[in-house]
Every structure is written in structure tokens, then in C-alpha cells.
Amino acid sequence: MKVTVTTDTPIAWSQSTCAVVPVFESTAIPESALLSKEQTTALRELAQQQRIRGKANEVYFLPEPKGPSAGILVIGLGESARSNREVLRRIAGKACAVLASNRITHVVFDNTHLIDLPVDAFIEGLMLGQYDFAQYKKTPTDPPMKVDTITICTPKETLLDSLRARCERAVVMCDAAAWARDLANTPPNDMTPTALAFHAEAMAREAGCECTVLDESEMQDLGMEALLGVSRGSSEPAKLIVVEYRHPGAKKTLALVGKGLTFDTGGISIKPSANMHEMKYDMCGAAGVLGAMKAIAALKPAINVVAVVPSSENMPGSNAQVPGDIVKAYNGKTIEVHNTDAEGRLILADALAYTVDKYKPDAMVDAATLTGAVIVALGHYAAGVLSNNDDLSTGLQRAADSTGERIWPLPMWDDYAELIKGTHADLCNIGPPGEAGTIIGACFLKEFVGDVPWAHLDIAGTAWGVKNVPYLDPKHATGYGVRLFAQWVLDEARGN
Ligand code: BES
Ligand code: MG
Ligand code: ZN
């Protein structure tokens, strides 16, 4: 996406160009340097007739077949007091269809009268909304038109630099989110742990980060039996992928850990076959943190960040782990595996303990499609967040508010931890069926983070299947976490 921020009007209009005019509910269509007198009069008439109302999520397209542009797109922002970044993101998502059907490739956003609008959020909605994953289809005969150029007209020279920086940041984050969505949508026959490691290495090389991939024998030497136990049923070797971003001015190191199950059959505790194909998305935590690294490396905040991704398949092979097995994790704790389908916490146990030990992060966040229970609790509209540190959750909440990647807290009282004590080992990998599944999962992970400030995000609901958010599509992975983690890291670096 090419973004130009300018104080220059008029614009070189064409039939592939359209003006975007934002309006609040119950306010008059403004005078704008982008619109002619006739255009303004036409829009005001339409407003008089209640066809343009400025309600949030309302788009109105006024075509101009005789030029100079393809038309004018009026976007509703709702009541000014309730308007925020998400309103702009959603209206942009809604606009994608009308822009495509009118074959528009260049939009000119009128930011001349509502100068406080977060136009960068409009760019986000457009970029996320135009995402498609078509590489596995025969070339479609009529590929959708996409907007590839945005010009933002602002009235003040003094606003240019900061607006430009915010827009560029939005483009970087949404490109990284698209990259992560591609990883997640890629089918499991092509997205094995080895392939995921390959993609991480290629990204790191291009972004100027360091990437190290541990293989099974290295993990064996390090004592990562919990991770290796999950991988035993699969003929695809497990990987532990580490990507490091370093900045010379850094005063802190943050760690991001992402669950990278490239396919989760459940293993011997096998899942029902209905919708099992969705378990290709069980690496969305990995995609989220690797995508965030891609954005972070491009935006260069003054902080160090390490991403650690344990990656494996969970298959019921003849050598597979069985219920009753006991494995010893990297930190020495022993785990009784009562359900091989609770595998995410097993691979994360080793990854978290290793990250703490090796990188001694000032804070650590993990993202995992860990439990179906989080969908019962929160649906597809927020990730559950469970943390041992209030400052960390507050920081994440701030980043969630600004990116629209929502999080919602759940408790981790000691009573829950009682429920995962092992009979013949230190821990059991499941609690009582039907009880606080998401909390139990987090309490299990807590055993492997020591006293590092840590937060666990259960993203099983938000990683795919999100309905009614206009800039997302239930058919695709959402790229959840990429923008949230990148924003959190930028905020942390600024707070240095
Ligand atoms: N990957 C799943 C979680 C999941 C389930 C995500 C459905 C999205 C939709 C995870 O590995 C899993 O199987 N969790 C079990 C845990 C249980 C056995 C304690 C679950 O949620 O059923
Ligand atoms: Mg599972
Ligand atoms: Zn899983």
C-alpha cells in the first residue's frame, strides 16, 4: 500500500480514484477543499433526504460516471463522542466491497476538516479487509480490485510528519499481519514445523533479525521431554524456533512465546472428526508472535525482543505419547499426561521455562490457541488474558484498546492450581472436565515461568472464525496478536 500525506489540493482525479469524506452523525456535510460546490450541494441534498446519515458503519457511494473521479464515498462515524479507532477500522472494512465493485484503486481521504481523526486506523481496516488467500486456487477469472494507493489530505503542514509516521506504522503492521495470516491459512501438509521454521528464518533474514532453530536432538540434550513427547506420534520432526531482535539503545528484553502446533488431531485422545480441519490454525499463536517480530524489526523500537516458538504436530502414531505417560520438562518438573489433546501447555511448558532461563526477559507474553473453553467464555471477540503481573496486563490492555485486538482478564487463584496436582508426578496436564478450562490451562503454564512478569493470552476464539467484524472474514485466520504485540513492544520501548 502506497500512502501519501499531503497538504496539496487539488488532486489529479481519474476514474480509478475516489474521495473519502468522513461525517459524524447529525452533522452537516462539511465544506472541503476536495469537493466542488456542486458535489457539496449534491451530498447535502442526500443528507436532507436521510440517505446519508453519518451513522457508524454506514457507507454511501455517489458515483460520478462523467468524472472527474469515480465518485465520492461518504463514511459514517456515528456520534462523535463514541467514535474511536475501531469505528474507522470497521467502516473501512465495510467500504472494501463498494470500492472493489467500483474498480477503485486509489482513495483520497479528506482529513481537512476532522483533523483529529485517526486516519491510520482507516488504512488498517482497508488493508485487513482486502486480505485474501487465493494461492491454492486456479487463477480466478475476475480477481477483486484492490486499493493500492491512499492519499491523505490534511490542512496543516505541522501535522504532516506525525500523520505520515502513524500511517507508515499502520502499513507495516498490516503487512506483517497479512504475512502471519498467510502462514496460518497455509494447509497443514505444507505448513509443517520444518516449513514454519523455514518461513521464520526467511523473515528474520529479510528483517535483519537473528534466527536459531533447535532440532529434536538439541531439545533432547536440553531436557525438553514435554515438547518431544507431543511430537512422538508424528513423522514430522519438532522444532524450537527462536527469533531475536536487538537494538543498541535497549534497556529491556521482552519475550514473546507462541504455540506452533501445525496440526492438532488430539493425538491418542483423538478429537471428533467434525471441524478437525480447523486445527491447522493451532499455530496461530506462533504466527502472531512471528508476525509481530516482522513488524517490530521494521519499526526499530529501542528494546530487545525475543520470540520463541515451540512447533510440533500432535498425531496418534504408533510411537505416540499415551495417557498415563510421565514426562520431565526443561525446569525439572514432572507431568502426568492424562489427555494427549491438552498438548499446547506441554510444548509451551518447555518453551516458557527455556525462555526464562536463557533470555531472562523483563516481561514475557505467550499466545496460544490453548482451550476451546475460552470460546465458551468470550466467544470470538476477545482473547482471555491471565497474568501474574498487573502492570503487564495494564500495558497489554492499552495496546489492545488501540489495536482493537481485545483481551479480557480471567483470574488465577491458587484454588485452581490445586486441581492440576499430579498423582504420580508433580503436575497433571488436565483438571476436572468442564471446570474453568482456560484458567486451568494458564495455571499449568504458570508453573514454568518462575517469577518473570508474564501474561498468557488464550487466542482460540480470536485467531479465526470471527464473524461480523467488517475488516475480518470468518473464512481466514485473523492474524490476531501481530498488531497487539507490536504495539505493546513500541509502548514499552517508549516507556524506557
Ligand atoms: N488446540 C486445542 C484448543 C482448541 C479447541 C482451539 C477448539 C480452538 C478450538 C487444544 O490443544 C485442545 O485440544 N485443548 C483441549 C484441552 C482439554 C483436553 C483440557 C480442549 O480445549 O478441549
Ligand atoms: Mg489439543
Ligand atoms: Zn492444540
Can you give the pLDDT of all 496 residues of the chain as single tens digits?
A: 999 999 988 788 999 999 999 999 989 998 888 999 999 999 999 999 999 999 999 999 999 999 899 999 999 999 987 889 999 999 999 999 999 999 999 999 999 988 899 999 999 999 999 999 999 998 767 778 999 999 999 988 998 999 999 999 999 999 999 999 999 999 999 999 999 999 999 999 999 999 999 999 999 999 999 999 999 999 999 999 999 999 999 999 999 999 999 999 999 999 999 999 999 999 999 999 999 999 999 999 999 999 999 999 999 999 999 999 999 999 999 999 999 999 999 999 999 999 999 999 999 999 999 999 999 999 999 999 999 999 999 999 999 999 999 999 999 999 999 999 999 999 999 999 999 999 999 999 999 999 999 999 999 999 999 999 999 999 999 999 999 999 999 999 998 5
**What pLDDT score does 309 carry?**
99
The response to whether residue 267 sits with its C-beta less than 6 Å from ligand 1 reads no
The H or E element containing residue 314 is strand 304-314
Q: Select which of 53, 164, 166, 271 is catalytic.
A: 271
**What pLDDT score does 420 carry?**
98
For the CA of 343, the nearest atom of ligand 1: 11
Ligand 3 centroid to Cα of residue 379, in Å, is 17
C-alpha cell recorded at residue 289? 508472535
**What pLDDT score does 139 carry?**
77
The response to whether residue 430 sits with its C-beta less than 6 Å from ligand 1 reads yes
For the CA of 279, the nearest atom of ligand 1: 1
Out of 338, 369, 371, mutate this one to test ligand 1's pocket (max ligand atoms within 8 Å of CB): namely: 371
**What pLDDT score does 496 carry?**
52
Q: Which ligand is nearest to the CA of 278?
A: 1
pTM: 0.98
Is 475 annotated in the active site? no
**What pLDDT score does 376 carry?**
98
Torsion of CA 485, 490, 493, 494, to 10 degrees: -140
Query: Which amino acid is it at 191?
Result: M
**What pLDDT score does 444 carry?**
99
The response to whether residue 373 sits with its C-beta less than 6 Å from ligand 1 reads yes
Ligand 3 centroid to Cα of residue 486, in Å, is 24
Angle at which helices 119-129 and 160-185 cross, to 10°: 20
**What pLDDT score does 32 carry?**
87
Q: Select which of 85, 169, 239, 345 is catalytic.
A: 345
- Walk me through the domains of the chain, giving residue ranges and CATH numbers: 2-159 (3.40.220.10), 173-493 (3.40.630.10)
In total, the chain counts a number of residues equal to 496
Provide DSSP, 105-170: -EEEEE-SS-TTS-HHHHHHHHHHHT----TTSPPPSSPPP---EEEEE-S-GGGHHHHHHHHHHH
Residue the block writes with cell 480447523: 278
Ligand 1 centroid to Cα of residue 458, in Å, is 10
Ligand 3 centroid to Cα of residue 262, in Å, is 9
Local structure of 386: helix, strand or coil:
strand
Is 90 annotated in the active site? no
Cβ–Cβ under 8 Å, residues 125 and 92: yes
C-alpha cell recorded at residue 4? 501519501
Ligand 2 centroid to Cα of residue 320, in Å, is 14
